Amino acid sequence: MKMFPDARTRRRFMVELLLRFALNLLLLLSPLYVRAQQNVDSSQANSGHNAGHPASETSPDKPGSLGSPYVELDSWIYPAIERLSALGYIHTEFLGMRPWTRLECARLIQGIGDEIDSGGSVLSQASQFQMELEKEFRLELDALDEGQNRVIRLESVYANLMGISGTPLNDSYHFGQTIINDYGRPYEEGMNSFGGFSVYATAGRFAVYVRGEYQHAPSVPAYSLPVRQAIATMDENAVLPPTPVASTNQFQLLDTYVAANVANWNLAFGRQSLWWGPGDGGALLFSDNAEPIYMFRASRIAPFRLPGPFHWLGPMKWDVFYGKLSGNQYPPRPMIHGEKISFKPTPNLEFGFSRTVELGGVGRPLTIGRILRSYFSVTSSNNETPATDPGKRTGGFDFNYRLPFLRNWLTLYADSLSDDDPSPLAAPRRAGISPGFYLAKVPGISKLDLRVEAVNTDLPAAGSAGGKFIYWDSFYRDLYTDKNNLIGSWVGREGKGPQASSTYWFSPRNTLQLGFRHATVARDFIPSGETMNDGSVKVEWWIRQDLSACGFVQYEKWVAPVLAPIAQTNWTSSVEVTFWPSSWHK
């Protein structure tokens, strides 16, 4: 009997074998050739395509073993740095691989003043961004100069009050979400709230970070019997009992971990969030749509180059993790690991390959052999038995590119996910995709930007109907969820739709944003289908240097006959106040 009886399976095998060989070869070569503390500066100094880059932006990492915590994914810092990058003032950021450490952010803003002049509206805006970022990372910039970073800092104390009038959506694996990319915080109709703090300490190569908050959400009745029967059909599970959702009153740790910098690799253990994608609305492979998960993570802080024939790939970064998912029932206690590698062959182009595997859980005991197979197996899942199954493997590919002739205006990007193939590049028609563009300045209104994205997991591929393709597996029937929230894109299974936002930058910290989101879900997945439309306004304002406020209003209308016979609407309004204390030095 032939191992691969059909041509398609043979092609998939060969593509995965070649990709896996290249990935493992790079993994083996990188530690052999990368000197400790090496950054991309020496390569850029000798590379023609990087001529004109400020050398200080990627200067030799004199204190290369200093520890540093990650910047939270909901921080104002990422949009500010991304806008500077889109305007052409930062060249070495890796947008598809976040979060970044504070020292990494400090390196990005070092030297950008050499490219910023005081004349012109856009240039004066860039100067404001530079000054605000230098204020934020003053301690890290001093640490890079002095080689020491003993700091204890109460980073923030915050409180949020949110009211929802009308019935919201709160089931990302089936019917979607009213509130997205919010660390999986609980919410229901009525008054919701959370309040918390973040604190960190660094000493030498070590760092500790803690973010905790108290969360409240009202109770909600159980789904009706027809809805529970529909869910059972969607997931091929037993009908759930009519259990109401109790009100939530809990203290919850978000990102909380210990970390150590070892030769420019940040090794962190604890609860952590990831964002593996270039977009702003949602990452297909990993986002902060769910709670941070318990994981061990090894992330390259400063990019480096490979020698010889791999030199043309440009600066590169690695990110790998191994963690556990919580709240799953089918099966309980699964594990997940992921690997991502990104390259910047030119200052204007970044592309990355990623892969995750959900494995283990009740019924699939973890063994050394199973774990090794999850990393190195190149056979199709159809050729595996329960005893040898390496887990549910998912591939990803993303890129972002600043377009020629519009370098400082327009950035094009895309995120993609393959469910049954080694990479989205191997079978584009079978891949979920989320393309988008970012216009850093609207002609005539330099302080206004525009971002438009689309996402599609409702594919024309054979066998993709019934919600049983992207974010689905016949064994892992809570695939890609943590406590019932998708760790991938908010659009979920067999969904598609656009998302757009436009931000007016009064200053780097003070912004007004208008947003719109639309999604439809296939009728063969949800009986009679589903449609959702959201419109929102968000204002972020710093009242003074240590006090900020954020106001958010959203109107949503959704139609899902399986949930309600007529269209439903809801209003969401929230106010958040954050105090940003000073730092204490030791």
Q: pLDDT for 435-479, tens place per residue?
A: 999 999 999 999 999 999 999 999 988 778 899 999 999 999 999
CA distance 245 to 90: 47
User: 131 or 387: which carries more pLDDT confidence?
Assistant: 131
Beta-carbon count within 10 A of 225 CB: 11
Q: What percent of the chain has pLDDT over 70?
A: 85
Is residue 366 predicted with pLDDT exceeding 60?
yes
Q: pLDDT for 295-339, tens place per residue?
A: 999 999 889 898 888 889 999 999 999 999 999 999 999 999 999
Scanning the structure block, which residue is given the tokens 């930058």? 505
Residue 542: phi and psi, rounded to 5, are -95, 110
Q: CB within 8 A of 98, min separation 6: which ones? A: 73, 78, 274, 275, 276
CA distance 195 to 252: 10
Residue 493, classified by CB atoms within 10 Å of its CB into exposed (0-12), middle (13-18) or buried (19+), is buried
What is the model's pLDDT at position 113? 64
What is the model's pLDDT at position 83? 94
What is the model's pLDDT at position 117? 54
CA distance 185 to 195: 11
Q: pLDDT for 60-74, tens place per residue?
A: 334 468 999 999 999
Is 455 within 8 Å of 495 (Cβ atoms)? yes
Is residue 523 predicted with pLDDT exceeding 90?
yes
Average pLDDT over residues 532-536: 98
Which element (helix H / strand E) includes 137? none
Confidence at 121, pLDDT banded by 50, 70, 90: low
User: 303 or 21: which carries more pLDDT confidence?
Assistant: 303
Look up residue 57 and give its two tokens.
């932006």
Q: CB within 8 A of 2, min separation 6: which ones? A: none
What is the per-residue DSSP string for 508-568? SS-EEEEEEEEEEE-TTTSTT-EEEEEEEEEEEEEEETTEEEEEEEEEEEEE-TTT-SS-E
Beta-carbon count within 10 A of 507 CB: 14
Coil/strand/helix, residue 342: strand
Which element (helix H / strand E) includes 67? none
What is the model's pLDDT at position 16? 53
Confidence at 18, pLDDT banded by 50, 70, 90: low
- What is the CB-side half-sphere exposure of residue 194 using CA atoms within 13 A? 19
Which residue, among 97, 537, 514, has the nearest Cα to 321 in the 3D structure? 97
| pTM summary value | 0.88
Look up residue 100 and give its two tokens.
């970044």
Compute the Cα dihedral for 182, 185, 186, 187 and give only its sign.
negative
> Which residues, in sequence order, are bridge partners of residue 438?
411, 451
What is the model's pLDDT at position 586? 52
Scanning the structure block, which residue is given the tokens 């691989």? 97
Is 442 within 8 Å of 453 (Cβ atoms)? no
Average pLDDT over residues 72-83: 96
One-letter amino acid of 487 = I
Is residue 493 predicted with pLDDT exceeding 50?
yes
What dihedral do alpha carbons 301, 303, 306, 310 form, nearest 10°? 130
Confidence at 386, pLDDT banded by 50, 70, 90: confident
What is the per-residue DSSP string for 101-135? BHHHHHHHHTTGGGG--SSSHHHHHHHHHHHHHHH
Compute the Cα dihedral for 182, 185, 189, 192 and give only its sign.
negative
Q: pLDDT for 239-273, tens place per residue?
A: 999 999 999 999 999 999 999 999 889 999 999 99
- HEC-encoded secondary structure of 229-250: HHHHHHHCCCCCCCCCECCEEE
Confidence at 94, pLDDT banded by 50, 70, 90: very high
Q: What percent of the chain has pLDDT over 90?
A: 71
Counted residue by residue, the chain has a size of 586
What domains does the chain contain, in order, with CATH numbers?
7-585 (2.40.160.130)
Rg of the chain taking only CA atoms, in angstroms: 23
Average pLDDT over residues 228-239: 94
